[in-house]
Chains A and B, each alone.
Chain A
């Protein structure tokens, strides 16, 4: 059984940290003119064929909330990297607004932008992007060194975060002496050392072996319960997305086709593209009790319940508790108080994949 970290319950109350409005990005020689065609309804394929411009992002609107993990998911080429690079302006938009803490990031001059990159956002990269000629501790301290912090100080801070991500004693090693998973731990430590409230992670775990990947996901969730950063996480892997996401954004050809609470998307996919995606998923492992329970709504807890389950338990764990008996009913508890009931029959229904997805699943 995978050990899962329980996420902060309903986080909808958190304030918006990053707000993206009407964002468009066109790659090519004359993006402004090409954008006109997009606004007049040209698709990504049209734009490429007729005007030889690449539509990177089209009509993006996302709110990323404080202390949440927003996962952006899509197939390769769907514009995920382009989107995340707009947040710290490694890529400039063709049109649109980006606000961080209500501040218009696009209006920043060079110095302000640098300050934001140093103090507000730090990034973790797919291929780690460590400096091969610097030690692990120097690498982890880069984000402070850039700000002019004295070496003794940033090495100390780097040491602290390296220990925190499980790399105690590796300070003086060089990156090439470490395995991929360990190198990415350095990457994470480097981002954490900057003490920035926002962390951008572009396919941070995609280059790692599956087992190590799971470890890293667990590490991230563990750090998150403690640090409460605003994390923007990019992945092409639905399992990873569902495991990490508080808010899931699904991209296709530069457009958002659905976003929302991941359990909700899983139960109500609004597009065949997403249905195809979710059809391969082990639903029992991903869906949680809270998503399918019947709320108590003021009525008293029923007395015939066969036991109590936690609000955030996965259906898989409940199935094993019940021994597969579908006649059972459970009382759902949250923070020690009953909040709903769950009939095992409803659980089984929730496990049935959507019919439409059956045909589509074969396409991929």
Chain B
């Protein structure tokens, strides 16, 4: 006896329901519990919501909720192979690049790495204070033997942020030139930005092998590419109308205008996007340790899994230090550009 029997009886669908009955479907947990407790007196307080499962009890023709999850899974598995066939070769270079970067950061000795990073920081920020900050932070991490982990994290961020900029800036430029494209792209960007970070990993785990670096590479890039696209689009759209008009009036070609005027004037916004992209890469690379991304995130994960409080907290501090130096250095570079363009 099921609660909603009366519904199908009154609608005259009983025969249809019974005809479709192919014996009881698999029992749900609730069914088992009900069996164990014996028949209960029906009361208005126990009235179940007419969900798929409740209706299925009354009429075998109605699908069960578990069929939905099963259906999604089957659909996904059905497209998995063709999708893999296409995506695997395309994304393979990402694995190579990540492996190469991890390898390079690994084999470069610290006494070579420090000067290189100092030089990069100085070129970006033109500030000795910034170089000092970076040396202090990295020096501390090295002192507590977190240097290798920090370098792995940095390597992944460098690669992913670089690829984000490489792809995001052209996409942003294309968006700024076409309102249609902008309208089509913004919902996708909104979705990428609102999806919880973990959800990125689920379809990717199915598509790619967990042992491959490209799995987390793709997750990080999808998550972190949004701000650089948005801000490139915005930056180019915000370029002073009169300057664009002037460029046209001097007979600039579209190319001259794009590279000589629009991109340079949008650079402060683009750099703000790059800053955010780097910070989001860092956030994602920690989460991606769930799918075998190396680096400080692995230690955090160990802290959680094994309840090793100290390990988790110290590596968390390491991530904060990395975040600080990445943020400060990119902001310093941004300020330098802003100062040069002050109107």
Interface of A toward B, CB cutoff 8 Å: 85, 88, 90, 113-118, 121-123, 125-127, 129-133, 142-143, 146-147, 174-176, 194, 200
Contacts and interface: CB of A to CB of B under 8 A. Distances in A.
A118 B342 contact: no
B252 A125 contact: no
B15 interface: no
B265 A132 contact: yes
Question: Can you list the 7 inter-chain pairs with the closest CB atoms, starting with the nearest?
Answer: A117-B251, A118-B251, A129-B246, A123-B249, A114-B251, A129-B242, A132-B341
Given A88-B249, A90-B245, A132-B343, 9 more contacts: A85-B245, A114-B251, A114-B253, A127-B240, A132-B340, A133-B264, A133-B341, A146-B250, A176-B343
B66 to A, nearest CB: 54
A130 B242 CA distance: 9
Interface in B251-272: 251-253, 256, 260-261, 264-265, 267
Contact of A122 (B240, B249, B256, B340): B249
A126 B265 contact: no
9 contacts: A88-B249, A127-B240, A131-B243, A131-B265, A132-B341, A132-B342, A133-B341, A175-B343, A200-B249
A121 B249 CA distance: 8
A176 B342 contact: yes
Given A115-B251, A118-B250, A122-B250, A129 B264 contact: no
A86 B240 CA distance: 20
Contacts, number: 63
A143 B242 contact: no
Contacts of A176: 341-343
Contacts of A121: 249
A173 B340 CA distance: 11
Nearest to B245: A90
B265 to A, nearest CB: 7
A319 B300 CA distance: 92
B248 A90 contact: yes
For this complex, into which size category does the number of interface residues on chain B fall? Answer: 20 to 34
Nearest to A183: B343
Task: Select the residue from B242, B250, B256, B265 with max chain A CB neighbours within 10 A.
Answer: B250
B54 to A, nearest CB: 55
B243 A133 contact: no
Contacts of B240: 127, 129
A85 B80 CA distance: 56
Contacts of A131: 243, 260-261, 264-265
A234 to B, nearest CB: 14
Nearest to B249: A123
A194 B250 CA distance: 9
Contacts of A200: 249
A194 B260 CA distance: 18
B248 A146 contact: no
A130 B342 CA distance: 12
B256 A146 contact: yes
Contacts of B261: 131
Given A115-B251, A146-B251, A129 B245 contact: yes
B84 to A, nearest CB: 46
